Amino acid sequence: MNDSAADCSFASVHVAPGSGIIKRCPVEGCNRALSRQNYCPVHEIQPKFTYDLRIKGWLDNGEKTHSVLLQRDVVESLTGISLDAAKEIAENNPLGMDEVFLQMRDKVLGRYITCHGREIDNRVLVNKCEPVVFESGKHTALLNRAGGAS
């Protein structure tokens, strides 16, 4: 098992199904994500689940790709959507939990972000994440330099 510190500043290129607001098994020590029918693969049907937030996805810089998993506190800070807000969206929108997924996907997909965490089995478990801020002056200078080289 590869278990090392990892930092990655890449573009978010995929937000996987199973991201957004999820239901977790309430059995102590389990914490597995439940299916839409509140089914835990270990403890079967769980009517008294707990809600959580996560984002599973991929970051890419054109040379290397990282699979990432963002936990609730990181998701809340990156998307600006709290667990309470996500519950409200899921309960009051015709698309339910899918609407939370769509809103979170729209906030991170295609954005450049820097993530810090631990790499375990080719997945980065992110404990801190922030958007990359580009300085427009530097960006303009690079574009002008590239345009003059043609």
List residues bridging with 22 in a β-sheet.
Answer: 52
Mean pLDDT of the chain: 89
Q: How far apart are CA 22 and CA 81, in angstroms?
A: 14
Domain boundaries, the chain: 3-21+55-148
Name the fold adopted by 3-21+55-148: OB fold (Dihydrolipoamide Acetyltransferase, E2P) (2.40.50)
pLDDT digits (tens, 9 = 90+) for 63-117: 888 899 999 999 999 999 999 999 999 999 999 999 999 999 999 999 999 889 9
For the cut 90, the answer to whether the pLDDT of residue 147 exceeds it is: no
